[in-house]
Structure 1
Amino acid sequence: MTENKITVERTIQASTAEVFDVLSNPQRHVELDGSGFVQSDDRSNRIQAVGDVFTMNMSGDHMGGDYQTENHVTGYSANQLLAWQTAPAGQEPPGWQWVWELEAEGSQATKVRHSYDWSNVTDAELLQKISFPLVSQSQLEDSLTKLDQAATGS
């Protein structure tokens, strides 16, 4: 962990295509969420390019209960990279980003690196309101465990 970023990684016994298939489907994100904030997808399509936006139904005390986020895809490379910035629905992203990097380790194993980066959050009022990080390193590691289960079916 750096001052404004947490990165975790693990090797999953599945191909990069199998792992990417799970990650690029917002309907499956509730399965992967180690934080407990994600409740469901809101009729989103599969992520296919930078500029795509997908909406998630969320819940958390930090937002006073139920809310929605719009996730703006900032990085996309099939079977290698997915990244997005999250914003409250109807607002511009305030600067935090989620990044998934995939690296093949043979044909049936993938090193997955997952980062939560809030280093571009500059709004002083937001920084006072929200105590970053909202998601802990152990919750990110839980997301990797859940991704492993989703990608391998175990």
Structure 2
Amino acid sequence: MAKHKVARSVVVDAPAKRIFDIVASPALHSEFDGSGTVRGTHFGPDRLERGSEFGMDMRMFGVGYRITNRVVEYEEDRLIAWRHGGPHRWRYELRELPEGGTRVTETFDYSRGLPAFYVLMGMPAKNGRSIERTLERLKAAAERDGA
């Protein structure tokens, strides 16, 4: 694992396109978010692409707020990453497996900016747990939607 990145993976019994369609839809983010901070979409397109901006209603530490994100990496059905005002990124990589299913890797990349701040705040461990819950929920949604 690269320094200043937290990543987890799961194999989903679904094609990459179905999973990507979920992740690329801001309106669905609150349904699979495992952190409990994403509450809903404030603005944005129905489907994300490189350069898209989308706003989310958030809640952390009992305080509601809004945040604007921009898609900074994008490969249809394979890769999407976004960031907001902070330098860190949330990234989803999808790789279809020869034996079937798709490996989905979510990464919290805090290598840009002030990595020591994120470590001091306990974000790597906290985000690791949140990523695990997110991937469980994303897996359930993709497998359910294909049934």
Long gaps (5+) in structure 1: 87-92
Aligned-residue offset at 1:132: 4.6
CA–CA separation in structure 2 for the residues paired with 1:3 and 1:108: 31
Contact 1:71/1:85 (CA < 8 Å) preserved in 2? yes
Structure-2-length-normalised TM-score: 0.87
Contact 1:57/1:66 (CA < 8 Å) preserved in 2? yes
Residue 121 (structure 2) pairs with residue 131 (structure 1): yes
CA–CA separation in structure 1 for the residues paired with 2:30 and 2:101: 23
Partner of 1:40: 40
Aligned-residue offset at 1:3: 4.6
Residue 101 (structure 2) pairs with residue 103 (structure 1): no
Long gaps (5+) in structure 2: none
What's the RMSD between the two structures over aligned residues?
Answer: 2.3
SS of residue in 2 equivalent to 1:79 = coil
CA 1:12–1:68 in 2, change beyond 3 Å: closer, same or farther? same
Aligned-residue offset at 1:48: 3.6
Q: What is the total number of aligned residue pairs between the two structures?
A: 143
Contact 1:94/1:123 (CA < 8 Å) preserved in 2? no
The code of the aligned residue for 1:56 comes to M
Structure-1-length-normalised TM-score: 0.83
Q: Percent identity?
A: 27
